[in-house]
Amino acid sequence: MAEYAVDMAGSLKDRLEGTNINPETFLATDYLNHFNEGIMLIELVPDMPEMLEDAQNWAPKSYADHFRDSTFSDKELAIEAYENAPAPIREAFDAVIARIDRAMLETLADLGMAVQANDQAMLQEITTTACRNIRSLLDQASAIIHGSRVQPGAEAEEADMAAAMAEQSGAEGMEDAEITMNQDDIDALFD
């Protein structure tokens, strides 16, 4: 049975060559476009509060659903590869994506309150802090996709951002800070 799994993974790996799907991690960066679109909408809200409704239409989307709905040329292969990605890599990736989803939804809720309060300073602060935190998480997801290690110092920067988010969001932000992967955890995925 284990031999069959190795043969299947080897065959799939061969099919990934020449695509935009990493043949080591079985993941594609195209999925991160879903979050980049959300960030772009969030960044518009402080200057155009009427964009809040468009931003709030953003919703979490699974990896498979993203590709099913996309025009990505190898979308079926991307879904198959994700489903067969090495478990430690996929688990780490899914954990980071869950954190990004939570951060996006919390940010949208916070922006709604700031727009309702007509508080421009709060809108700017929420947007700046949240987008920085979300981009840091996206960098982690990208590092996992590419099979590379997170840059030294990123851990400390993320811890600072998690602390800022915790202060801003209360206990919910602390939840995110507690599940932060350290550099050794990320490095172990690629050893």
**In which element (H, E) is residue 145 found?**
helix 120-146
Residue 158's pLDDT is what?
46
Q: What are phi and psi of 179, to 5 degrees?
A: -105, 15
pTM: predicted TM-score of the whole model, two decimal places: 0.75
CA distances for 184 relative to 63, 135, 150, 181, angstroms:
26, 21, 10, 8
Say if CB 7 and CB 85 are below 8 A apart: no
3-state secondary structure (DSSP) of residue 19? coil
Instruction: Please tell me the predicted confidence (pLDDT) of residue 148.
Output: 81
- The reported pLDDT for the residue numbered 164 is 44
From first to last of its 191 residues, what are the pLDDT tens digits of the chain? 444 444 556 789 999 999 999 999 999 999 999 999 999 999 999 999 999 999 999 999 999 999 999 999 999 999 999 999 999 999 999 999 999 999 999 999 999 999 999 999 999 999 999 999 999 999 999 999 999 854 444 444 444 444 444 444 443 443 443 344 555 555 555 55
**Locus of tokens 């990736």:** 93
CA 19 – CA 112 distance, rounded (Å) = 40
